Chains A and B, each alone.
Chain A
């Protein structure tokens, strides 16, 4: 059986071990991709940009398609759900 894993509140990536967390700190509910150098969480626009690039590079998607998909994914994640669902 698959053991339950928590996921990054900002991008949804599974957080399986300490090194997946920002600064390797398991008390931070977001991943190292979603953290700035100092460990604080990136802004909505920074994460959107990163996620768009991630999707576009991974599958060769059209930029607008990747951006729309990234927005949709972020709208269902706890860090962004209430505030920016309309963005």
Chain B
């Protein structure tokens, strides 16, 4: 199958991006090394810059690619999720798909470009919106206590991010969401529950 020059160029660009993504999964976005990206792709250092004129641009595109993937996955997971437990589960499933990259975004957020920080705030607000809507429904049925929207979300995200950021304490070299995700969901729902004792399934709502 003959490939045109433009197709070849696009394929090389994609391979460079893939190598950058792999490196960022290991070491984060802020310290991305272009020489290593070139080596991993099997192209010259200069070739990297013919596709991405600056290191910053490669970081931006890499981060944007991850952000879009997480956001798409999240919206797909949330579709049809109505109950609190379903939404929390959908949230963790979307993060799980990109756990390494997401973890670095949480750690490096203050040092990322402004448009990345905004995209992150947008994603988090969307999660808060869905969580709040489900909580309102559960509260109307008397299943959970009343909690302001921002505290509902911030309490949940603080729990998830703590485990992700300090993964090495909880699941060194493994997926902390696989190992602890279900426990975090159970615990969060238990905190919200109006039931006097730990219900076996407070989130059957």
B121 in complex: contacting residue of A14, A57, A69, CB < 8 Å: A69
- CB neighbours of A57 from chain B (8 A): 149-150
| Min distance, Cβ B151 to any Cβ of chain A, angstroms | 7
Please encode chain A, from 38 to 69, with 1 for each CB lying within 8 Å of some chain B CB and 0 for all others: 00000000000000001101111100000001
A2 in complex: contacting residue of B72, B115, B150, B154, CB < 8 Å: B72
Does B193 belong to the interface (CB within 8 Å)? no
Does B167 belong to the interface (CB within 8 Å)? no
Please encode chain B, from 118 to 151, with 1 for each CB lying within 8 Å of some chain A CB and 0 for all others: 1001101100110010000000000000001111
- A1-29 residues at the B interface, CB under 8 angstroms: 2, 5, 12, 14, 16
A54 in complex: contacting residue of B73, B75, B115, B125, CB < 8 Å: B125
In angstroms, Cα B119 to Cα A72, docked, is 10
Contact B129 A58 (CB under 8 A): yes
| Min distance, Cβ A84 to any Cβ of chain B, angstroms | 16
B150 in complex: contacting residue of A16, A59, A73, CB < 8 Å: A59
Contact A73 B79 (CB under 8 A): no
Please encode chain B, from 149 to 181, with 1 for each CB lying within 8 Å of some chain A CB and 0 for all others: 111011000000000000000000000000000
Does B114 belong to the interface (CB within 8 Å)? yes
Interface size class of B (residues with CB under 8 A): 20 to 34
- CB neighbours of B121 from chain A (8 A): 55, 59, 61, 69
Contact B118 A60 (CB under 8 A): no
- CB neighbours of A69 from chain B (8 A): 117-118, 121
Does B191 belong to the interface (CB within 8 Å)? no
Does B76 belong to the interface (CB within 8 Å)? yes
B151 in complex: contacting residue of A2, A5, A60, A76, CB < 8 Å: A60
In angstroms, Cα B148 to Cα A5, docked, is 31
- CB neighbours of B125 from chain A (8 A): 54-55, 58-59
Q: A5-B75, A60-B154 are in contact. Are A73 and B124 (CB under 8 A)?
A: no
Q: Can you add 15 more A-B contacts, CB < 8 Å, to A54-B125, A59-B121, A61-B121? A: A2-B72, A2-B76, A5-B75, A12-B122, A58-B124, A58-B125, A58-B149, A58-B150, A59-B150, A59-B154, A60-B148, A60-B154, A72-B115, A72-B118, A76-B115
A/B interface sample: 29 pairs, CB < 8 A:
A2-B72, A2-B75, A12-B122, A14-B75, A16-B75, A16-B79, A54-B129, A55-B121, A55-B125, A57-B149, A57-B150, A58-B124, A58-B128, A58-B129, A58-B150, A58-B153, A59-B121, A59-B124, A59-B125, A59-B128, A60-B150, A60-B151, A61-B121, A69-B117, A69-B118, A69-B121, A72-B114, A72-B115, A76-B115
